[in-house]
Amino acid sequence: MISGFVIYMSITNAKTISDFWISRFIRLYPVYWLSIPIAIISFIVFRHQIISHQFNFILGNFTMLQPLFRTPELVGASWTLYIEINFYLLISLIWLYKHFKHVEWIIFLGMMVTAILMLTYQSLNNSLPNYTRFFIVTRGLIPLVGHFQVFAAGMLFYLVYTQGINRMRLLLLIVSFLMIAVTHTDGGKVHYALSLNEHLASCFVYYLVFTLIIYNKASILKIPILVKLGNISYALYLVHESFGLSLSNYLAPHIGYVFSISIGIGLSFVLAYLITHYFDIPLRQQLRKRLKTKTQNTVAIVKA
């Protein structure tokens, strides 16, 4: 939902599609690449795990395109990044074909496609092997179909934030919420952790928070500690499992679960802070500065 809101805002303000992709590349890949050696070292030291040397495993995890190379993620939590890239491709097509005026209809069509794919698969109950194979392959290569409704909700909240609420946007938000139930079991991995009711309750809270934000009723989210946590959230997302969970599981037999998980969480926050403030932010600033200088030089040459 956050990506739906932020990425839609980003691309509507992008001057060129290359600007958008360069911005996303700088935001995602450098920290992701740094997280790979952190994960490898953590797995070897804390889990005594042997890391695969297969070419498809290395290339898939280096590019974030693991499903295309038919290989698992080095770090399980990073499975969502490939879905992000799916969404970037979709949003880029909307930009290229200038369909922002019809985005509500695109959202409606996307959710209907998702509903048809999911409900057909669920109703057949593996009775038609060819469709089952088609669905599993499609969901694997284009997992956006199982998560489109939450990206769509973020986009809709951005439209409400910038252009106001209307009947169609309200209806689409309701449909996007109902689609969470449709995709609960077969859309992603949430059913491993939450029941349907827990999933809906969680998402209801997210919808409520977004509503409060766009109507400026969530000033509590601006308090400094939450802003700082937001700043380190991407780095924390990338290291919390590989480093934090591995460390806490390693320590648990020696100091107990409570202390080990506290240390794992605490040091994950510390590591995320260090990565963000001493690697991510300085590198992004430097790369943007160089790109800006290069663009200015190119413009000057063209004018000359």
User: Which pLDDT tens digit goes with each residue over 194-248?
Assistant: 999 999 999 999 999 999 999 999 988 889 999 999 999 999 999 999 999 999 9
Does position 304 have pLDDT exceeding 60, yes or no?
no
Q: How far apart are CA 55 and CA 38, in angstroms?
A: 20
234 token code pair: 């991407």
Q: By percentage, how much of the chain surpasses pLDDT 90? A: 88
- Regarding pTM above 0.95, the answer is no
**Is the pLDDT reported for residue 23 higher than 60?**
yes
pLDDT of 301 higher than 80: no
What is the structure's pLDDT at 297? 65
Average model confidence (pLDDT) across the chain: 94
Say yes or no to pLDDT of 296 above 70.
Answer: no
Interatomic CA distance for residues 303 and 296, integer angstroms: 11
**Is-contact 109 26, C-beta < 8 A?**
no
- 161 pLDDT higher than 90: yes
Mean pLDDT score, 27-36: 97
> Which pLDDT belongs to residue 303?
57
Name the residue ranges covered by the structural domains of the chain: 2-219
Tell me the C-alpha distance between 184 and 146, whole Å.
Answer: 9
Residues 6+ apart with CB under 8 A from 243: 38, 39, 42, 267, 268, 271
Dist CA 204 CA 210 (whole Å): 10
- CA distances (Å), origin 46, targets 61, 205, 270: 21, 36, 18
Report how far residue 250's alpha carbon sits from residue 246's, in angstroms, rounded to the nearest whole number. 6
CB-based contact 88:7 (threshold 8 Å): yes
pLDDT at 98: 85
pLDDT bin (cut points 50, 70, 90) of residue 291 is confident
